[in-house]
């Protein structure tokens, strides 16, 4: 039986994968990422690589179909590079291979520090309002209000302290540049992005070109949050149907 290890995005949680659990009888493991409600991470997790290793342990030493969305995709890449024997298949949804220059990292550190300042000074609700107002999520305005409200509740289920820790430990500025290491990943890999998410469409093309067995899929008329906007299509892609 296929075992799938599913890693959610920033401000998401294990319930982000409920749509997949409902559609499949296979074993699905969906841990909470560091800094997110439900995560049981020790204080020793202080680097991106530490979180990669913590999450790899959920595979219980056996190869899994590893699936990651956004932040989860970045961590999934880390697992595929650091623990290749634990990955039989890889699915990267709205993923990023890592920044390539120190100026980019400096800009991202400043951006993450600003988000942390907002969390610490104005609180979680103000942060969620500002986070959701980004152009990255504009396509979600077409979704039913009930779905958008459920997503907001998911984001509000975390703590300001926790989300700051997530940004500081697993933010893009702390992630290694995996581009030169993509050739080490030799398992079938689905690389997926939403058509309306231009930046991540280009990143998906870069990832797919660098992977020996990379298969690119651009989902039409869809933004960054593939799980929220296209759960049926993502289920079909993950299950290979």
Give the tens place of pLDDT for each residue, 105-115.
999 999 999 99
pLDDT on residue 178? 97
Domain ranges in the chain are 3-100+175-239, 102-167
Cα angle, residue 33 at apex, residues 30 and 36 outer, rounded to 5°: 110
What is the distance between the terminal CA atoms of the chain, rounded to a whole angstrom? 16
| Residue 23, pLDDT score | 74
pTM of structure: 0.96
Give the fold, CATH level 3, of 3-100+175-239. Answer: Rossmann fold (3.40.50)
Given a cut of 60, whether residue 241 has pLDDT beyond it is no
pLDDT band with cut points at 50, 70 and 90 for residue 147: very high
Pairwise pLDDT comparison (238 vs 25), residue with the higher score:
238
Q: pLDDT tens for residues 206-240?
A: 999 999 999 999 999 999 999 999 999 999 999 88
Burial 103-116 (b: 16+ CB within 10 A, else e): eebeebbeebeebb
pLDDT, one tens digit per residue, over 91-109 is 999 999 999 999 999 999 9
Residue 165 DSSP class: H
User: 50 burial class (0-12, 13-18, 19+ CB within 10 angstroms)?
Assistant: middle
Least confident of 14-23, 27-36, 121-130, 154-163: 14-23
Mean pLDDT on 183-191? 97
Contact between 177 and 97 under an 8 Å Cβ cutoff? The reply is yes
Average per-residue pLDDT for the chain? 95
């Amino acid at each position: 039986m296929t075992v799938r290890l599913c890693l959610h995005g920033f401000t998401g949680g294990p319930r982000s994968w409920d749509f997949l659990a409902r559609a499949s009888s296979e074993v699905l493991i969906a841990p909470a990422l560091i800094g997110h409600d439900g995560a049981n991470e020790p204080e020793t997790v202080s680097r991106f690589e530490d979180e990669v290793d913590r999450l790899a342990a959920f595979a219980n030493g056996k190869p899994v179909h590893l699936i990651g969305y956004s932040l989860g995709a970045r961590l999934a890449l880390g697992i595929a590079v650091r623990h290749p024997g634990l990955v039989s298949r890889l699915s990267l949804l709205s993923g990023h291979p890592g920044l390539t220059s120190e100026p980019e990292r400096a800009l991202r550190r400043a951006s993450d520090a600003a988000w942390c300042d907002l969390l610490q000074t104005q609180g979680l609700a103000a942060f969620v309002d500002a986070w959701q107002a980004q152009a990255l999520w504009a396509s979600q305005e077409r979704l039913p209000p009930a779905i958008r409200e459920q997503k907001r509740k998911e984001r509000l289920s975390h703590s300001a302290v926790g989300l700051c820790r997530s940004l500081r430990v697993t933010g893009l500025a702390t992630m290694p540049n995996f581009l030169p290491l993509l050739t080490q990943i030799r398992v079938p890999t689905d690389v997926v992005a939403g058509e309306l998410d231009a930046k991540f469409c280009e990143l998906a093309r870069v990832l797919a070109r660098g992977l020996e067995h990379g298969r690119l899929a651009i989902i039409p008329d869809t933004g960054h949050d593939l799980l929220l906007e296209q759960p049926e299509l993502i289920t079909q892609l993950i299950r290979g149907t």
